Amino acid sequence: SQQGEEDPQALSIQEGENATMNCSYKTSINNLQWYRQNSGRGLVHLILIRSNEREKHSGRLRVTLDTSKKSSSLLITASRAADTASYFCATAARGQGAQKLVFGQGTRLTINP
């Protein structure tokens, strides 16, 4: 079963606009990660936020985490055509010796020129 539920499943915006994707999860986590997947390629790690962090930035990416609501959001500012991809959240549960990531179903983002 999937740990993460992502919303929306698909998002289409104009270049230059901001894109926001949301992720909800079910159990306590150690950290939450976001990945990007271009069509037909492997996933690329974008950013990791620990359970004791509330917000993290990396370039045009901003991630928030609300452990009380078991949810996270990924904001991409000033979107570019190259940001067109699928975005996945993944959670690492507490108490595991070896980290195992559980992935959501992803949000498919399309940036229109």
What is d(CA 107, CA 11) in angstroms, rounded to the nearest whole number? 7
CB nearer to other proteins: give 42 or 113.
42
Stretch that binds other proteins, among 10-18, 58-66, 70-78, 99-107 (CB under 8 A): 99-107
25 is an interface residue for other proteins by CB under 8 A:
no
In the set 74, 84, 85, 106, which binds other proteins (CB under 8 A)? 106
Min. distance of Cβ 43 from other proteins in angstroms?
A: 5
Paired with 13 in beta bridges are 111
87 is an interface residue for other proteins by CB under 8 A:
no
In the set 2, 12, 18, 58, which binds other proteins (CB under 8 A)? 2
CB nearer to other proteins: give 97 or 113.
97
Give the H or E element holding residue 6: strand 5-7
What is d(CA 10, CA 49) in angstroms, rounded to the nearest whole number? 23
Contacts of 102 (CB under 8 A, 6+ apart): 2, 3, 4, 90, 91, 92, 93
Contacts of 48 (CB under 8 A, 6+ apart): 31, 32, 33, 56
Residue numbers of the site for other proteins (CB under 8 A)?
A: 1-2, 4, 31, 33, 35, 40-45, 48, 50, 88, 90, 92, 97-106
